[in-house]
Chains A and B, each alone.
Chain A
């Protein structure tokens, strides 16, 4: 399939939380940005149904450091049936009361992070006649250099903004070799359902990640290394 050249972008922020799925109540971040989070950042800057992003490599520029923060959080969500009932009756309280639903949760977050993401995109079967690779490559580079985005990209959670700029060729990763174990690659989504504005199913896929001289090479999505 036709794909773009490798595009590079530098991202950085004061904190980050790439939550481990096995520790998500009291969130614990992975040591590095996951390919899924990197894709989210690229999509915040440029995405159309016509393109799908693939991450090739993530360079970790700073030493991996941690910070623990405990916050009061809300323990529940509003049931859908309550909303429809209130819509029908035209009255009723849908508010959630924080005192009743409070949970104190700690988070183990990364601090002072900076990465260079190497990625490309390919055109999907939802492309239109006017869509071509060159056009989106140029759009992406233009947006990154002007600081334009659809919504502001984040480091895993929305309270941690991800600043971005074109990657400078002088950037060198913080040289560390480390086996990161199995980490989340991305979610495999089922068919888009117009009615609910959501995918019918979503399944996580993992891969064995390693930092070699500070770089994490991401295997191809369809390779044998990626486990569903």
Chain B
């Protein structure tokens, strides 16, 4: 199957209810927040982690959909680990380029086998100078539409970790903990897909479909005590169309496409659900771009 031959941009809206969409390691794992404006943030890498996990579990970590950067929580086999350690041993102090004419071959082999390498790219020690596969898919930080409020909840556990603790409490055996949530936040992220890089890494229409599926479904497979209720709410894709090269290069500036999607509050008071918002697409502006841009409303 051949690589995609259109440029794409997309607006991705997701929300969180009583959960922590992305903890900030600098702030004791409180939800990330822009301290100047109070808007919530979710980093690009946090979203990409979920795409990797979704593709990994649905495709069972098998080539050509294997995942290069895994979370350990998923299957690990002893022999694989042994192999890895052996491999690392072989490497030792080697920082210089090695492999000569096999480098391009190894690079494309990695792209072929690993979904995340051919979508997002990867830094592999294949070159001296910042050896990279640049992936076609590029995501920005997601930012909440309105400022979010960070809640801190104290919680108790009816058990203690050690005997010493139990003794000091005289058998009361309770530990206090903390949990952080935002009551509600609707987040907006922008994404970009380059057809030229897709050609380079072999990112196909099928891969693209899988990417849309993962954005649609990934939160449904990422449930945890910390996350609360997270849902993908809207995925609006702009496909650049036209003859050959122009579809690849693009037919309209990205920022103008993003401007056609606006999110408004339709209620007063603090927002607590998706129903408090209205997402509008400027139909007239899209109509004017007929033949240049195809709008795909995927969620």
Contact = CB atoms under 8 A, between A and B. Distances in A.
A149 B250 contact: yes
B99 A197 contact: no
Given A80-B126, A84-B106, A95-B66, A146 B254 contact: no
A80 B26 contact: no
Nearest to A112: B36
A104 B83 contact: no
Nearest to A147: B253
A77 B123 contact: yes
Give the contact-size bracket for chain B.
Answer: 35 or more
A98 interface: yes
Contact of A165 (B103, B134, B194, B255): B255
A100 B43 CA distance: 21
B98 A159 contact: no
Given A81-B87, A93-B80, A98-B69, A196 B97 contact: yes
Contacts of B127: 196-198
A68 B34 CA distance: 9
A6 interface: no
Interface in B93-140: 94, 97-107, 109-110, 113-114, 122-129, 131, 134, 136, 138-140
Contacts of B197: 151
Contacts of A69: 26, 32, 41, 43
A99 B99 contact: no
A224 interface: no
A34 interface: no
Nearest to B52: A98
B215 to A, nearest CB: 16
Contact of A198 (B32, B61, B97): B97
Interface in A114-154: 143, 146-152, 154
A160 B136 CA distance: 15
B88 to A, nearest CB: 7
Contacts of B141: 14-15, 159-160
Give the contact-size bracket for chain A.
Answer: 35 or more
Interface in A42-80: 67-74, 77-80
Given A77-B124, A79-B87, A148-B250, A100 B26 contact: no
A77 B91 CA distance: 11
Contacts of A25: none
Contacts of B34: 67
Interface string B17-38: 0000000111000001010100
A72 to B, nearest CB: 7
Interface of A: 14-15, 67-74, 77-85, 87, 92-100, 104, 106, 143, 146-152, 154, 158-161, 163-165, 187, 195-199, 201-202
